[in-house]
Amino acid sequence: MEIIKNQSLKHYNTFGIDVKAREFVSIHSEEELREVLRENTGKRIFVLGGGSNMLLTKDVDALVVHIDIKGKEILSEDEDHAIIRAMAGETWHEFVLYTIGENLGGLENMSLIPGNVGTTPIQNIGAYGAEIKDTFVSCDAMNIHTQEMRTFTREECKFGYRESIFKNEEKGNYIILSVTFRLTRRNHKINTGYGDIQKKLAENGIVNPTLKDVSDAVIAIRRSKLPDPKELGNSGSFFKNPIVPIAVYEKAKATHPDIPHYPVSETEVKVPAGWLIEHAGFKGYREGDAGVHKNQALVLVNYGNASGADILALSRKVQQAIFDKYGIRIEAEVNVI
């Protein structure tokens, strides 16, 4: 394992921000990780997966540990289910396609989400009516400070909307090395509840969709809506959809009667941040090389040479404008570093 000094991270983050890591090392096994952490006790450690959920605003003054551990295996199976474990460095979308190829159901709605398997529990990734927590069994993680391994069960992960224990109480304490899922082998729960999926399947004349049909539909929808980071730097949805007290929503609705909302609990509703941003006039807005995507207002983009600070400044401008207009605070989903 070679520790590289002053490594550019431009090709390690999907925003394509050109900052440097003070030190950088790629990790291919649990043993390698333990050794690196032991030999570098006291240094600040920064964990890097696929770099698709971070905005790097300055050089990273740390030892960047790039998790590149590969492998997957079916641990057990019966007629109905398979328990499958994938290592943290597996590319999520490739893993999803592998499960579909094995006729294992549960991950198909989350096709084409960028990033690595090991990062999926951190923000409980989700799309089109599915979240990782629905099929998650456990994950194995190494304590950064003691190098001890610990298994986190689904309950222990405290999953919420784009939330988990790894973003809260245990932030900065663990590196996830593998994730275990329980997937269906038959009687798949095909989830076509999202209108877009239904529309796409209908367009293709599909009445009884297979796992692959759903995955193909999701891939086609995502390709038509979201910019490909290989062509236009971005980190997917930059903001979370705000969950607000009903009173806050009612107040905003008094002056903006068409604000959409979805019930969350008896006291709170979720408001689509993309709608708020679009209706505040920011869709397609651009300041230098930092911009709000022209088709999807929730996505901030780097047209080429924007710095992380440029994107951050734009995000703050959007947040302030939304608060001024609707009295609603929107928070970043992306990790701002």
Ligand X SMILES: Cc1cc2nc3c(=O)[nH]c(=O)nc-3n(C[C@H](O)[C@H](O)[C@H](O)COP(=O)(O)OP(=O)(O)OC[C@H]3O[C@@H](n4cnc5c(N)ncnc54)[C@H](O)[C@@H]3O)c2cc1C
Question: Which positions touch ligand X (CB under 6 A)?
Answer: 14, 47-54, 67, 88, 113-116, 118-120, 122-123, 125-127, 175-176, 226, 229, 234-236, 335
Our CB check for ligand X shows the closer of 7 and 235 to be 235
Shortest distance in whole angstroms from residue 316 CB to ligand X:
20
Tokens 């740390």 -> residue: 62
Q: How far apart are CA 8 and CA 67, in angstroms?
A: 16
Tell me if residue 101 falls in helix, strand or coil.
helix
Q: Which of 138, 162, 182, 307 is flagged as catalytic?
A: 162
CA 274 to chain CA centroid, nearest Å: 17
Shortest distance in whole angstroms from residue 90 CB to ligand X:
10
Q: How far apart are CA 296 and CA 285, in angstroms?
A: 11
| R_g (Cα) of the chain, nearest Å | 21
Q: How far apart are CA 127 and CA 47, in angstroms?
A: 24
Q: Which of 30, 108, 131, 333 is flagged as catalytic?
A: 333
Tokens 């440029």 -> residue: 310
- The answer to whether 190 touches 216, Cβ cutoff 8 Å, is no
The answer to whether residue 237 is catalytic is: yes
Our CB check for ligand X shows the closer of 65 and 269 to be 65
The answer to whether residue 162 is catalytic is: yes
Tell me if residue 16 falls in helix, strand or coil.
coil
For residue 55, what is the enclosing H or E element? strand 54-55
Following CA atoms 58, 63, 64, 66 in sequence, which dihedral angle do they give, to the nearest 10 degrees?
170
Our CB check for ligand X shows the closer of 242 and 252 to be 242
Half-sphere CA count of 233, side-chain side, radius 13 A: 24
Shortest distance in whole angstroms from residue 217 CB to ligand X:
14
| Amino acid symbol at 224 | S
Shortest distance in whole angstroms from residue 122 CB to ligand X:
4
Q: How far apart are CA 236 and CA 250, in angstroms?
A: 29
Q: Which of 164, 237, 307, 315 is flagged as catalytic?
A: 237
Shortest distance in whole angstroms from residue 79 CB to ligand X:
31
The separation between the first and the last C-alpha atoms of the chain, rounded to the nearest angstrom, is 25
The answer to whether residue 32 is catalytic is: no
Our CB check for ligand X shows the closer of 125 and 211 to be 125
Shortest distance in whole angstroms from residue 104 CB to ligand X:
20
Our CB check for ligand X shows the closer of 49 and 81 to be 49
Our CB check for ligand X shows the closer of 252 and 298 to be 298
Q: Write out the catalytic residue numbers.
A: 162, 237, 333
